Amino acid sequence: MKKKNTPPKSGTETAIDKKLQLPEQETAKTIKLEEFTADGTDELMTTNHGVRINDDQHSLKAGERGSTLLEDFILREKITHFDHERIPERIVHARGSGAHGVFKLYKSQSAFTKAAFLNDTETETPVFVRFSTVAGSRGSTDLARDVRGFAVKFYTQEGNFDLVGNNMPVFFIQDAIKFPDLVHAVKPEPDNEMPQAASAHDTFWDFISLMPESTHMVMWLMSDRAIPRSYRMMEGFGVHTFRFINAEGVSSFVKFHWKPVLGVHSVAWDEAQHISGKDPDFHRRDLWDAIEAGAFAEWELGIQVVAEEDEFKFDFDLLDPTKLIPEELVPVEIIGKMTLNRNPDNFFAETEQVAFHVGHVVPGIDFTNDPLMQGRLFSYTDTQLIRLGGPNFHEIPINRPVVPVHNHQRDGHMRQTINRGKVSYNPNSLGGNDPAQVKAADGGFAVYPERIDARKVRARSKSFLDHFSQAKLFFNSQSEPEKNHMIDAFTFELGKVKTVAIRERMLGILSLVDEGLAAEVAYGLGLHVPEPEQPLNKSFGADEDPSTYESVLREGSLSASTALSMAGTVKDSIRSRKIAILAADGVNGSSLKHVKSALEAEGAIVEVIAPRLGGIIAEDNSMLAVDQSFLTAASVLFDAVYVPGGTNSVATIEAEANAVHFLNEAFKHCKAIAADGEAMQVLEATYFSRKLPADFKEETVLREGIVVTEDSKKLAKLFIKAIAQHRFWNRENPRKVPA
């Protein structure tokens, strides 16, 4: 139960002790996020300092029509707080959504790490997760073609561990010193502040075409991974190679993976653009509604572990953040599950103020010399200092650990903890030398004693200079529909680039990934594929000679990896999928109710769409509730569509242009479609009627994604199987490009 936000009783320190500090005598179990939450019910209005307010409707004036008085402290406090309600948004990842949950370990990982939350299979570790887009502002659309942030804060019994990653396992750059350049390039162009939340413009592709190390990441960005169906249906990755340290001090390298239980699914690019106009909060709403409905979001945590002695056995460098470890070389071991089961109580206090940091680690997890990771260890703290107002952002409730905090850090902007005593230094004798340092054997954090013996240089390891083998691997691993989508994505993005020289330079880069890819993109742009520019790697200092470096055209050991394609993802559930039923007065209520019940029994969310809100009268004169009208609903907001029978209903739906458009769009975006046999005339009014299969047997339905039958039980069964397939990309026209 949430605690009331009542003022403390006079002469006591109880409220201060519990709300403003972490007293030494309290145990970890007494510190909960809920203790800092005000529920806002049955309370008396007060100022921020606890003074009860008599009148919140009128400012203090010199007479009823006179000037407002400066002494009105209630007005000044209220207006001042309002004036400062908005804090600077994140430079990147500004557009975000969050949720609370728990992590439960399947099997102890003590062989690799001494991190307690990865050893204890009995305890559920609280988590807070924030998903986000990267390039757009807070007000941008959820459906931009973009990388998605996937940041998890574990509130462990040894302190907070933040796994701050993305939905793609690699990144654009190898060294953090290039991060400002990348972000400046992808953000809206500074002269006109356009385009918002989009990479389809000159500055981004100018940068990318001059940074071949970005090639692998750009392949991911142009894939369907960049437009997920839901946050709940995308993978997450730690991106970097971390270290595990076990109790004996033995080190291993580790990569983190989040595998969604619902599978990895995307939307079509045309669909994403329409969703941005219909509901720019699509992903945010999807996550919120699913949790509210009890369809909790779930991911399994997987790890790839590489022994210290195997660091150099691959044909790529483990420390290169533009590389992944193919699962064929090191399988992903699933070790636990994360379940998001509670929405935030207040978006600003939690989702907006949560502060993640790659440097928040616990004993048993350590860093590597990945130069991108090393820069992030500085950047995150530096960012939070300006964004959240000072060094005490860790005291904001959403950022507090669930264990007591004891150190000699004092004061600073917005300090909340009230420290007792006169000692704020170490060592000391006046305070008993408390708090005491903790031995590593007793849980104190100790870094892995990696041997370092080198000269100070500004350079990059030659092992980082292969920029194309894994880009080739990714493209070769895609299914034909996925490859076609990537070709379309490159053609769309580069088609928005005004400078022809940039387009041509990028085509040269693509030719080193796949000549067919480059040729098809060039055809769409009306250009020829040029020879790639030399030197291929632009990432050199002014005094470096690129000719001293080995070739960047190394071939990888694998030609393809099944894990890199979404074609083989989980397709066995329709849980939380949104299904539209198009109906009107005179509908066959029996069929509608049966199909609706069957879909809901499988966990789907079903909405009846009709010409008007309120209700519709079925053939048997029963009243059926309507969820949305054609004015408020849109095909792009649903995963599948069903048209029940009923003479009058069918005639009304066939004559409703918005209903026919609804079906046309669903077909165009390769979604499952079902109709009662007597509703066939509605399908015949669509543009795809000539493409309808000759029969609607199970094998045809699972190939074409369309089911039509008079038998509502059979229809429901086949429709459910079709929806579970997610999309029927074979409906898309085959690519016809001259050789």
What are the tokens at 199?
């990479």
305-327 pLDDT, tens per residue?
Answer: 999 999 999 999 999 999 999 99
Mean pLDDT of 613-625: 96
Q: What percent of the chain has pLDDT over 70?
A: 92
> The pTM is what?
0.91
Does residue 725 belong to any structural domain of this protein? yes
Q: Which domain holds residue 205?
A: 96-399
Model pLDDT, residue 552: 61
> What's the mean per-residue pLDDT of the chain?
90
Pick the range with the lowest mean pLDDT from 35-39, 245-249, 581-585, 624-628.
35-39
- Decide: 710 and 677 in contact? Cβ < 8 Å: yes
Model pLDDT, residue 527: 97
283-312 pLDDT, tens per residue?
Answer: 999 999 999 999 999 999 999 999 999 999
Query: Closest by alpha carbon to 130, among 99, 158, 107, 103?
Result: 99
Does residue 26 belong to any structural domain of this protein? no
Model pLDDT, residue 301: 98
Domain boundary among 399, 427, 456: 399
Pick the range with the lowest mean pLDDT from 114-118, 529-533, 640-644.
529-533
188-226 pLDDT, tens per residue?
Answer: 999 999 999 999 999 999 999 999 999 999 999 999 999
Domain boundary among 358, 384, 399: 399
Does residue 63 belong to any structural domain of this protein? no
Model pLDDT, residue 358: 93
Model pLDDT, residue 22: 37
455-483 pLDDT, tens per residue?
Answer: 888 888 889 999 999 999 999 999 999 99
What lies within 8 Å, CB to CB, of 329 at 6+ separation is 314, 557, 558
Does residue 147 belong to any structural domain of this protein? yes
Is 551's pLDDT higher than 70? no
Distance CA(494)–CA(499), nearest Å, equals: 9
Model pLDDT, residue 204: 98
Mean pLDDT of 644-665: 97
What lies within 8 Å, CB to CB, of 86 at 6+ separation is none
Model pLDDT, residue 39: 53
554-604 pLDDT, tens per residue?
Answer: 777 789 999 999 999 999 999 999 999 999 999 999 999 999 999 999 999
Does residue 12 belong to any structural domain of this protein? no
Q: Which residues pair with 676 in a beta bridge?
A: 709
Does residue 6 belong to any structural domain of this protein? no
Is 41's pLDDT higher than 70? no
Beta strands across the sheet bearing 628-629:
628-629, 605-610, 578-582, 640-643, 672-676, 706-709
Instruction: Select the highest-mean-pLDDT range: 38-42, 134-138, 411-415.
Output: 134-138
Model pLDDT, residue 738: 45
Q: Is 169 helix (H, G, I), strand (E, B) or coil?
A: coil
What are the tokens at 173?
């750059």
- Decide: 723 and 702 in contact? Cβ < 8 Å: no
137-167 pLDDT, tens per residue?
Answer: 999 999 999 999 999 999 999 999 999 999 9
Which residues are catalytically annotated?
Answer: 93, 166
Is 739's pLDDT higher than 50? no
> At 279, which CATH number?
2.40.180.10
Does residue 173 belong to any structural domain of this protein? yes
Q: Is 449 helix (H, G, I), strand (E, B) or coil?
A: coil
Does residue 367 belong to any structural domain of this protein? yes
Domain boundary among 355, 381, 399: 399
- 440/608: higher pLDDT: 608
- 383/613: higher pLDDT: 613
Cα of first residue to Cα of last residue in the chain, in angstroms, is 68
> At 654, which CATH number?
3.40.50.880
Distance CA(303)–CA(252), nearest Å, equals: 11
Model pLDDT, residue 82: 78
* Domain count across the chain: 2
Give CA 507 to chain center in angstroms.
30
